[in-house]
């Protein structure tokens, strides 16, 4: 598939972690999105990401527009196998859509006589999906079209939802540039006066990461140039929080301009002094699954004592009871169940 002229000079990133800041607004800038719409956008965003090979570094959606910071990952040199393509397609399409596609592929293979000819016929058909991957314009088209289809069905309307084609800016992958853009995106709700801390706004990448999302944490790790295991989230998240709060500090009013809405200097200072750890009061305003699904919560000694008393109920491979509670500084609390990827969820 040919790359649109507007994006040809972006095509080769030279091995750099170049990113794009993308923005799209609702037609006439109407305030069209409530909680349900924002929740569905978050769900759809991750499905399109899994299909497309475009990494979502961070994001936010407000009442009438959204921002994304994305990285177009390089296409594998060897391409995708049929199995790999189908796995990606399944992440985006509904069960019914995917079953229909599989049935069509079987019919296509039979009509071509099977064997190599059948495989080639299916591969040629699946190429249309392959062409949509690792491509910024196709990523945004898929996201916006599928969201519009869902929105129009829900609200019994027809027609366009977005005021224009999306805007995009190429962003250098070096943290000096990309972290500032990421912080700008995650601080949207703070600037709008909706929350005092971006961790409290469920519809942004930083809050999603604090809430335990593996996809959001991988995006944040990529931003911080830390592509290690998920255990590295804590240090990456703390470093990003310190940077974000410094960037988001509220400005002073002058005779020429009003004060810039942001994070108070005292809160910035406390965040730096805490090394970027998310305060317990902020974490407790999330829906903490450890407190509902953790089975046992308390000090490490308390959880281990429970395990010792109930040892016969667990397999031989289980050596200990206490599991670290992830997602923030819990003051030494432990849980019996490891909910590392989903222990905290924002409402």
pLDDT digit string, tens, across residues 144-175: 999 999 999 999 999 999 998 888 888 887 77
Structure tokens at 342: 């989903």
* pLDDT winner (highest mean) among 57-61, 128-132, 253-257, 300-304: 57-61
DSSP 291-323: HHHSS-EEEHHHHHHHHHHTGGGS-TT-----E
Element (H, E) at 265: helix 265-273
pLDDT surpasses 50 at 38:
yes
Name the band, by pLDDT with cuts 50, 70 and 90, for residue 293: low
Predicted pLDDT at 290: 64
Q: How far is it, in rounded angstroms, from Cα 90 to Cα 96? A: 10
pLDDT surpasses 70 at 76:
yes
Predicted pLDDT at 149: 95
Q: Which fold has domain 5-74+136-273?
A: Alpha-Beta Plaits (3.30.70)
Phi/psi class of residue 28: alpha, beta or left (left: φ > 0; alpha: ψ in -120 to 50)?
Answer: left
pTM of the predicted protein model: 0.75
Residue with token string 């060897």: 78
Q: How far is it, in rounded angstroms, from Cα 214 to Cα 208? A: 9
pLDDT surpasses 90 at 220:
no
Predicted pLDDT at 158: 93
pLDDT surpasses 60 at 86:
yes
Q: How far is it, in rounded angstroms, from Cα 266 to Cα 285? A: 21
* pLDDT winner (highest mean) among 31-35, 165-169, 270-274: 31-35
Predicted pLDDT at 329: 63
Measure Cα distances from 226 to 5, 54, 179, 218, 255 in Å: 33, 18, 13, 9, 43
In degrees and rounded to multiples of 5, residue 19 shows phi and psi of -130, 170
Predicted pLDDT at 236: 83
pLDDT surpasses 80 at 300:
yes
In degrees and rounded to multiples of 5, residue 338 shows phi and psi of -85, 105
- Enumerate the domain spans of the chain: 5-74+136-273, 82-130, 290-345
Q: How far is it, in rounded angstroms, from Cα 161 to Cα 246? A: 35
Predicted pLDDT at 283: 66
């Amino acid at each position: 598939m040919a790359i649109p002229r507007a994006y040809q000079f972006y095509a080769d990133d030279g091995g750099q972690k170049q990113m794009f800041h993308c923005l799209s607004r609702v037609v006439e800038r109407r305030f069209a999105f409530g909680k349900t719409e924002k929740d569905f956008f978050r769900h759809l965003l991750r499905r399109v990401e899994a299909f497309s090979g475009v990494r979502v570094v961070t994001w936010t959606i407000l009442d009438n527009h959204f921002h994304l910071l994305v990285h177009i990952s390089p296409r594998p040199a060897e391409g995708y196998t049929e199995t790999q393509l189908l796995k990606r397609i399944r992440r985006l399409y509904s069960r019914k859509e995917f079953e229909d596609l599989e049935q069509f592929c079987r019919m296509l293979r039979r009509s071509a006589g099977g064997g190599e000819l059948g495989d080639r016929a299916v591969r040629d058909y699946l190429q249309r999906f392959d062409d949509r991957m690792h491509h910024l314009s196709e990523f945004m088209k898929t996201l916006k079209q599928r969201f519009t289809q869902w929105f129009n069905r829900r609200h019994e309307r027809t027609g366009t939802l977005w005021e224009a084609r999306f805007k995009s800016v190429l962003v250098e992958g070096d943290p000096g540039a990309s972290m500032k853009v990421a912080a700008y995106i995650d601080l949207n709700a703070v600037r709008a006066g909706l929350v005092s801390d971006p961790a409290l706004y469920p519809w942004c990448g930083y809050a999603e990461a604090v809430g335990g999302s593996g996809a959001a944490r991988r995006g944040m790790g990529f931003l911080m140039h830390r592509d290690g295991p998920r255990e590295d989230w804590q240090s990456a998240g703390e470093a990003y929080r310190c940077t974000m709060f410094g960037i988001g500090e509220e400005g002073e009013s002058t005779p020429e301009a009003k004060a810039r809405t942001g994070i108070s200097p005292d809160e910035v200072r406390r965040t730096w002094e805490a090394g970027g750890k998310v305060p317990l009061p902020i974490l407790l305003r999330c829906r903490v699954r450890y407190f509902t699904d953790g089975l046992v919560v308390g000090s490490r000694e308390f959880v281990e004592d429970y395990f010792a008393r109930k040892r016969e109920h667990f397999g031989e491979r289980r050596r200990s009871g206490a599991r670290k509670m992830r997602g923030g500084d819990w003051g030494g609390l432990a849980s019996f169940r490891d909910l590392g990827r989903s222990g905290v969820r924002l409402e």
